[in-house]
Amino acid sequence: METAFACNIKAMDDVQRQGYGILTKELMQIRQEVRELNDGYAIRFEPKMQTISDIAEFIGCERLCCPFFDLEMIAERENGSLWLNLRGREGVKEFIRHEFGF
Give, in order, the Cα–Cα distances in Å from 67 to each of 6, 26, 57: 9, 22, 15
- 2 found inside a domain: no
Picking from 46, 77, 73, the residue whose alpha carbon sits closest to that of residue 62 is 73
Picking from 91, 82, 72, 78, the residue whose alpha carbon sits closest to that of residue 3 is 91
pLDDT of residue 94: 93
pLDDT of residue 5: 78
pLDDT (tens digit per residue) in 17-52: 999 999 999 999 999 999 999 999 999 999 999 999
- 1 found inside a domain: no
Please state the domain count of the chain.
Answer: 1
| Model confidence at 8: pLDDT above 90 | no
- 24 found inside a domain: yes
Helix (H), strand (E) at residue 43: strand 40-45
pLDDT of residue 9: 84
- 25 found inside a domain: yes
User: Which of the four pLDDT bands, split at 50, 70 and 90, describes residue 7?
Assistant: confident
